Amino acid sequence: MRVIYARMEPTLDDNMPREQAGFRRRFSTIDHIFTISQLTERCREYKLPLYLLFVVFEKACDWVEHNAVLRAMTDQGVEAAYVRILQGTMRESHTEIALFERPLKICMKRGVKQSDICSPKAFTCALESVMRQVAEKDGFEIDEETLQMLLFADDVVLVASKPATLQSLLNEISHLTESIGLKIHPGKTNWMKNAHCDDFEIKLNNQLVERVEHYVYLGQAIRMDNDLRLELS
């Protein structure tokens, strides 16, 4: 599979936007941590409202649908021969249970193998296939481009200057990701705002999303005031 992966990787990387930094050459967690740090700092300096929402999926790698992965790879230009090989490995996925002391084999239609070298790319490919369908909203203009989300594999941060935009983004992403088998975890998804924002409630499927003062993102404690005492303690 390493040979197949090496041949698919350039095609998949070329189709990934800069917002997706997970499992890519020349990208790291530092890229997104620095981006968020600069964003919070500039918004504080110029007294601009900033809302951040950190999306957490429930067992993302276990629930993504096989068909969604294969379809996404085809759409992003991976050669059909490689897609068929990956499809063959997925077809072999199964679990066994004992029913009245008789073994029963059940074919799996979801999930990517955690130990497979192709799995991280396969997952991010499927996720990107729906994320690119998100309509451009009121994000932040940077070098004539609109920033409204950052992705590191399944770690998703939504960025907005208005609370209604943040809610709209969450609703749309929840709907789109459900189409490939993913579900956002309402209890682990959090959001924060800086001092220049209005009070607001964010909901996911009529359940309140918790607002926090800090959030550990990619190993870094994120605060709107960029206070590093929590990180250094």
215-228 per-position pLDDT tens digit: 999 999 999 987 76
20: left (phi over 0), alpha (psi -120 to 50) or beta: beta
38-49 per-position pLDDT tens digit: 999 999 999 999
Domain count, the chain: 1
124-175 per-position pLDDT tens digit: 999 999 999 998 777 888 888 889 999 999 999 999 999 999 999 999 999 9
pTM over 0.85: yes
The residue assigned the tokens 């041949």 is: 7
DSSP E strand boundaries for 89-154: 94-99, 102-107, 140-142, 145-147, 149-152
Q: What are phi and psi of 45, to 5 degrees?
A: -65, -40
- The domain of 105 spans 2-232
Please, is 135 exposed, middle or buried when counting C-beta atoms within 10 Å of its C-beta (0-12, 13-18, 19+)?
Answer: exposed
Residue among 184, 188, 12 at smallest CA distance from 83: 12
Residue 17 · residue 128 · CB < 8 Å: yes
